[in-house]
Structure 1
C-alpha cells in the first residue's frame, strides 16, 4: 500500500468504528530509551482523540503506577518475571510472559478488536495474545537487527533476527515508517508487499519553556551545533568527533553539543578528552524533551550523522522548530530532507562532507533561515500526529475486515 493509496483512503474513511486497541511496547513515557517510546506515546494519544479506546501494556520499574490513565490512554505497567536478570534476552522473555498475563487479564473485562505490537521485543506476547484472544495482530517494525549491524554476525543478532521474522510472519499486517524500511523488509524477510503499509512517524511542535543557558552555563554566549540521539555506533557521533578534530586543525570555530544516553557515551567522552577536543565537543548525557527543544532552538544548526536510521524522528524534532538541519543521506532520513531546500544531506560517515555542509549554512545565514522555515512547513504538513493516527486506524480497519472475510471464506 503506497502513500498515494493511503492518502486516498484517508479522504474516504469516516472513522465511525470505535475500536478497542491493545498496544504492546517495551518502553513508554516516562520510561524513554529511544524514539520508539515517543512514537507509541504520540500514536496512542491521538488514537484516543479519534474516539478509540486504547490500552498500552509496557514495562514498569516500580517507580511509576501499575495502572494510570494518561491523556485518555490506559497505561498498564508490568514487572518482568525475572526482573533482576542481567541477561537482556532472559529479561525480555520475562517481560513477554508478564505482558501476556496482563493482556489476558485486561481482556476479561474488555473485548479487544486488535493487538498492535511495536518491534520484536514484545513479539512473543503479541503472538500469544493474538491466539488467546482470537484477534488480528498488527505490528509496527521500527528497525531491524540486520540494518543496525549491516548484517547478521553473532548468535545474539541471529536470535533477534529470527524473532523479528517470527513476529512479521505471524502478523496480519505490518507497518513500516519509511520506504527505506519497506525495502529492508522486502529484502531481508521476503515479506509480501501487500502485507505492508508505509506510515511515517509523527511529530508535534512543543513550546520551549526552559533556558538552556541556565542548565548548561558552559554554552552561554557560545554559538553551537546540536545533535541528540541514543549514544550508539549507528548514530554516527564518531563522525562529529572526526569533524571537530578537522575543525581544530584548520582553525574553524565550531562547537558541537551532543545530548543522549547509551552504551557508547563514556567511550566517546574519553575520545574527546584524548584528542584534546573539550573546547569543540561536549557529550552532555540525558536531556528531557523540554531541555532538548531549548537546546535545539538556541543552536545554529542541527546535525544527525547516522550510519543507519530507519526513519529519523530526531530530524523532525529539529525541523519543526525551523532549525536548519543536516542529515545523513541514508535510510529514512534521505526521504525526509530535500537537499538545499528543506535541509542538507551529508555523506554518511564522512567528516569533510559534514564540515562542508556546516560551513555552507554558517556562511549564508539568510539561506540557512530559508531552509529552516521550509523544513518546518513540510514537517507540519506531512507529519502531524492526527494524520498519522488516522492512517493507522485505516490499516486497523482494513486488517479487521480482511480477517473477518477470511474467516467467512473458511466457514463456507
Structure 2
C-alpha cells in the first residue's frame, strides 16, 4: 500500500470520529473472575467517556440484567447455549455461539466500526463477527497458555494454544500489555512485529471507606505484609508460605495476609495449618475492591511473588496507594518496577530473596516511604486509563484506515 493513498485516507477520515465499538469478553463486572474483567471495564468506561459508543457482550447469569447501561457502557449479557455443561471447553463453545448471535442482533440496529475481542475465550465469536459484519477484528491478548505453563504439555493446553493462534492470525491488529508479552507472541506464535502494539493496563487513584480492622479483627494492631490475586500456582503464593516458615525458624515476627479465590485456596490453607504457620499466614479468600484497598492501605508492604505475570495490574493497585511494593523479576512486573527506586525486585520462587527485601524495607522505613512515593508518581503519570483508552483508539483508527485504504486500492 503506498504512502500517498494512506495520507488521502487519513485526511478523509481525520474528522472528529466517534467510533461504534463492539467489545467481547467472557467476564465483566460484577462478574469478576480475574484481572481481565477489570481491564475491560476500565477501558470500556473511558472509551465511552471520550464519546465513543461502546457495547460489551459478555457472560451473564439469572441475577444480572440482560442489558443495562453502566457508566455510559451498554452491557449485554448472554447465557451459553450449554450453560449447565461442567466441561469448561464445551461451556466456552456455547458462550461463543451465544455471543456471536447477540452481536449479530445488536448490529441489526447499529453499524459497528470494529470488534474488539479479549483473549481466546471469545476468539471464535470475534472471528465470526468480523466475517458476518465485515469489520476489522482487534484482539487483546492478556496471557498465553504457553506462558502460564512454561510450555504446552497436554491436549487441553494444545487446544487452547491453537485457539490463541487462530485468534491472532485472524485479527487485523493485536494488543499486548507489556514487552514481555510481545516477545512471547513473536517467539511462540511467529506473528509479524508490525501486527503487535504494546499498550499497558490502566489504573485509577482509589481509596476505601471500609475499616479492614473491623472486617478482619485478627489483623488489628498487627504489622502485616499484603498480597492479592487469583489463588493459582503461577501467582507464587507458595513462596510466601516458604518465607513465613523461614521467618518463624529465624524468630522473626512477619505476618502475611493473602486475599483472593481460586482452585489452590484450600490446598494452601491446609499447607499453612500442617506447617503450623497459622500465626504467620492468613489466606482470607475473596475480597471486594474496597476491602482490598483498605487492606493495602493498612499494610506495611505489598508483595506479588508471581512465577508468571504478563503484566501485573495488582502491583499498580498497591503502588498507586504509595505502598512499598516487592514484585518478582519476571514478565510484565519487571517492566513496571525499577529496583530500589519505585519498588523492589525479588528472584521468582525464592523465599530467601523475598525475606531479604522485606527485611530491607522494615529496617529502613524512610527509604521504604520514599520508594512508595516514587512508585505512586510513576504509576499516576504512565498508567492512567484516560491515556490507555486514547492509545487504544489510535490503534482502532489506524486499523480502520488501513482496511479502508486496502478496499479503495482494490477498487482502483
CA shift digits 1:76-127 (9 cap, x unpaired): 0000000000000000000000000000000000000000000000000000
Q: CA deviation at 1:208?
A: 1.4
Q: What secondary structure sits across from 1:339 in the alignment?
A: coil
For residues 103-114 of structure 1, the aligned pairs below 5 Å read: 103-114=103-114
Asked if 1:180 corresponds to 2:180, the answer is yes
Structure 2, unpaired ranges of 5+: 1-12
Cα shift at 1:207: 2.1
Counterparts of 1:403 and 1:322 in 2: how far apart (Å)? 44
| Structure-2 residue corresponding to 1:204 | 204
Q: State how far apart, in whole Å, the 1-side matches of 2:248 and 2:303 are.
A: 18
Q: 1:56-205 counterparts in 2 under 5 A? A: 56-205=56-205
Tell me if structure 1 keeps the 8 A contact 2:310–2:331: yes
Moved over 3 A (4+): none
Whole-Å separation in 1 of the counterparts to 2:265 and 2:250: 26
Residue equivalent to 1:294: 294
Q: 1:1-400 residue pairs with structure 2 within 5 A?
A: 16-400=16-400
Measured on the aligned residues, the alpha-carbon RMSD in Å equals: 0.9
**Matched residues in 2 for 1:63 and 1:196: separation?**
38
Deviation at 1:408, TM superposition (A): 1.7
Q: Residues 341 and 274 of structure 1: is their aligned pair in 2 closer, same or farther, counting only changes over 3 Å?
A: same
Whole-Å Cα distance in 1 between the matches of residues 240 and 151 of structure 2?
Answer: 24
Give 1:411 shift.
2.3
| Partner SS for 1:393 | helix
Deviation at 1:409, TM superposition (A): 2.0
Q: Is the 8 A contact 2:180 2:332 kept in 1?
A: yes
SS of the residue corresponding to residue 241 of structure 2 reads helix
Deviation at 1:14, TM superposition (A): 8.0
Separation in 2, partners of 1:329, 1:61: 39
Secondary structure at 1:258 match in 2 = strand
**1:63 Cα offset (Å):** 1.1
Please report how far the alpha carbon of residue 407 of structure 1 lies from its aligned counterpart in structure 2 after TM superposition.
1.5
Could you list the per-position Cα deviations for residues 301-355 of structure 1 after superposition, in whole angstroms to 9, with x for gaps in the alignment?
0000000000000000000000000000000000000000000000000000000
Alpha-carbon distance between aligned partners in 2 of 1:381 and 1:35, rounded to the nearest angstrom: 21
Unmatched 5+ stretches in structure 1: 1-12
Spell out, residue by residue over 1:245-281, the C-alpha distance to the aligned partner (whole angstroms, 9 max, x if none).
0000000100000000000000000000000000000
SS at match of 1:26: coil
CA distance in 1 between partners of 2:411 and 2:317 (Å): 49
Match of 1:7 in 2: none
For residue 16 of structure 1, report the CA deviation from its aligned partner.
1.8
1:277-304: CA deviations, max 9, x gaps?
0000000000000000000000000000
TM-score (normalised: structure 2): 0.96
Total equivalences in the alignment: 400
Whole-angstrom CA distance in 2 between matches of 1:159 and 1:17 = 39
Taking the aligned partners of 1:93 and 1:408, their CA distance within structure 2 comes to 36
Q: Compute the TM-score of the two structures, normalised by the length of structure 1.
A: 0.96
- String of CA shifts for 1:351-406, please: whole Å, max 9, x gaps: 00000000000000000000000000000000000000000000000000011111
Q: In 1, Cα distance between the equivalents of 2:15 and 2:146? A: 36
Provide the rounded CA distance (Å) in 2 between the counterparts of 1:186 and 1:280: 42
Deviation, 1:410, is 2.2
Check whether the contact 1:236–1:305 (CA below 8 A) recurs between aligned residues. Answer: yes
CA distance in 2 between counterparts of 1:320 and 1:334 reads 17
What is the SS of the residue equivalent to 1:138?
Answer: strand
Aligned to 2:261, what secondary structure does the other structure show? Answer: coil
Q: Tell me how far apart the structure 1 counterparts of residues 15 and 220 of structure 2 sit (CA, whole Å).
A: 49
Q: Mean alpha-carbon deviation: is it higher for 207-216 or for 116-125?
A: 207-216
SS at match of 1:56: strand
Does the 8 A contact of 1:15 with 1:393 survive in 2? no
Counterpart Cα distance in 1 of 2:141 and 2:127: 15
